[in-house]
Amino acid sequence: MSEKSFNIDWDSIDYVFTDMDGTILDLDFDNFFWLEVVPEKYAEKHDLTVSQSKSMLFPEFKSIQGSLEWYSIDYWSDKLDLDIYNIKWAYKDKIRYLFRAKEFLNVCREMNKRTFLVTNAHPKTLEIKDFVTGIKSMVSRSVCSFDYQYPKENIEFWVNFNRDVDFDPCRTIFIDDNEKVLKSAKDFGIKNLLAIQLPDSSKDSQRIVDFNAVDGVCEILDKYI
């Protein structure tokens, strides 16, 4: 979509729903953890080379990507015989906000918007990230897909979430770095949708095809508020 056609009418928005990893927090941590740390720990545990470990694990990751199990610390701890929670805890100092993302949350609060953190992250992952960043104190409420038994990629998540919160989809903006998640939100009827092109500060921009997009929420501060 053309950026020229995109605008945010804040007067018509009551709810700001924002993803966590890749939208507010830097996805660099998650990519590093799952693509480097977990294969190394698995290799140590099972007497493999790291290359062998990655060859075994990456197809496993891909096969359930987008499911609730993919986001579950408990699932992967059992599957890999690794204490994923404590391994994440050991690397928690690498968790950080994306550029000006904390400022964005502050501005939403100053505008009196009901700002929700809407994440697929497992509650135990949210616990670690909140310990490091204090992110839960920055929003009106934190919502995990595990609360509703479906990932955000599934429209049933939005049905159950709306049954709980009773938000007006036409007066809501949702920001996420995952196009499949945005498609699900669109199918549910959320009117204002925005994709993040730079979820990982260590990588290049991702190509967004079907949604209006910004590099990060910092761009919303500069152009749309």
Residues 78-107 have pLDDT tens digits of 999 999 999 999 999 999 999 999 999 999
Q: What is the pLDDT of residues 142-152, one digit of tens each?
A: 999 999 999 99
- Residue 205 contacts residue 214 (beta carbons within 8 Å): no
Name the H helices within the chain.
Answer: 28-32, 38-46, 50-63, 73-80, 84-90, 101-110, 123-133, 155-165, 179-188, 217-223
Could you give the percent of the chain with pLDDT greater than 70?
Answer: 98
Q: Collapse the DSSP code of 17 into the 3-class scheme (helix H, G, I; strand E, B; otherwise coil) and give the result.
A: strand
- Inform me whether the pLDDT recorded for 44 exceeds 90: yes
- At residue 134, the pLDDT reads 98
- Tell me the mean pLDDT in the region 37-65: 97
- At residue 3, the pLDDT reads 44
pTM of the model: 0.96
Q: To which residue do tokens 């404590």 refer?
A: 86
Q: Give the residue from 197, 169, 171 showing the smallest Cα distance to 184.
A: 169
Largest CA distance in the chain: 58
Q: Give the residue from 225, 183, 220, 177 showing the smallest Cα distance to 201.
A: 177
d(CA 110, CA 100): 15
- At residue 170, the pLDDT reads 98
Distances (CA, A) of 30 to 34, 35, 81, 131, 202: 6, 8, 19, 16, 12
Could you give the percent of the chain with pLDDT greater than 90?
Answer: 96
Query: Which residue segments constitute the domains of the chain, with CATH numbers given?
Result: 3-27+97-223 (3.40.50.1000), 29-93 (no CATH)
d(CA 216, CA 199): 7
pLDDT band with cut points at 50, 70 and 90 for residue 131: very high
- At residue 6, the pLDDT reads 78
- At residue 5, the pLDDT reads 59
- Residue 12 contacts residue 22 (beta carbons within 8 Å): no
- At residue 18, the pLDDT reads 98
Residue 205 DSSP code: P
Q: Give the residue from 41, 25, 114 showing the smallest Cα distance to 77.
A: 41
Q: Hey, what are 157's tokens?
A: 């998540």
